[in-house]
Amino acid sequence: MRVVSGECKGRPLKAVPGVSTRPTTDKVKEAIFNIIGPYYNGGLALDLFGGSGGLGLEALSRGMDKAIFVDREGKAIATIKKNVEACRMEDRVEIYRNDAERALKALIKREVSFDLILLDPPYNNQKIISLISVIEQNGLLKEDGTIMTEHAVEVQLPDEIGKLKKVRYEDYGITAISIYEFALEEEE
C-alpha cells in the first residue's frame, strides 16, 4: 500500500493490524482518483471510514488543503496517525475516533462543508444510503462537491439520493465505486 500520486507519491502506508479493515488496493485507489480528480486546487476532504487513512492521504497528496479522518477503531486511528506522520501532513489533518453517524452530527454542528467526501465502510455494515442522505440534507457537501463511496459489488445504490445523482459507477472484482454529485438544475 502506498500513496499513488502527488506530493507524497510512492510513500509506503501501513495497513491497520488484524482483519477488521480492508484497505483499498492501489489499483482501485488510482482508478478512483482518475475519475474524481485526478488533482485538486485546495479544498476540504472527509474520510469518514478512515481505516489506514489511504484515501484521505491520497486526496491531500493530490492537492486538497485539509482532511478530516474518522474511524471508530483504535487500531485504525493509530495507523492513520502513523501514516499522516510518514507523509509529514500533521498540520493539514484532524483525526477523530468516532462512529460515522456521531461524527456527521458533530460536523453538522460545526457548520462545515466538504469538497470531497470519501465513504469506504466495512462491506458487512453498509449504511451508505442513510449516510449520504444525512450529508445531503445537512449541507455537508458543497454544491460542486463529490461523494465517492466504495462498496461490495453486490450492493446496488440508487441513481439518486435526495438532490444527489450517481454520476459514475465502476466495478473492480468484488469492489465497486459509486460517485455522487448534486444534480445540475435544468435551465429553462
Cα–Cα nearest to 179, from 138, 120, 139, 103? 120
Rounded CA separation 142/112 (Å): 9
Each residue of 44-55: pLDDT tens digit?
999 999 999 999
pLDDT in tens, 4-33: 999 999 999 999 998 777 778 888 999 999
| Domains assigned to the chain | 26-182 (3.40.50.150)
CA distance readout (Å), 111 to 89, 104, 105, 135:
24, 10, 10, 12
CB 45 within 8 A of CB 117: yes
Q: Would you give the DSSP letter of residue 19?
A: S
Spell out the alpha helix ranges (H) of the chain. Answer: 26-36, 54-61, 74-86, 100-110, 128-137
Chain mean position to CA 188: 35
Q: What is the pLDDT of residues 90-118, one digit of tens each?
A: 999 999 999 999 999 999 999 999 999 99
This prediction has a pTM of: 0.94
What would the grid cell of residue 154 be?
A: 453486490
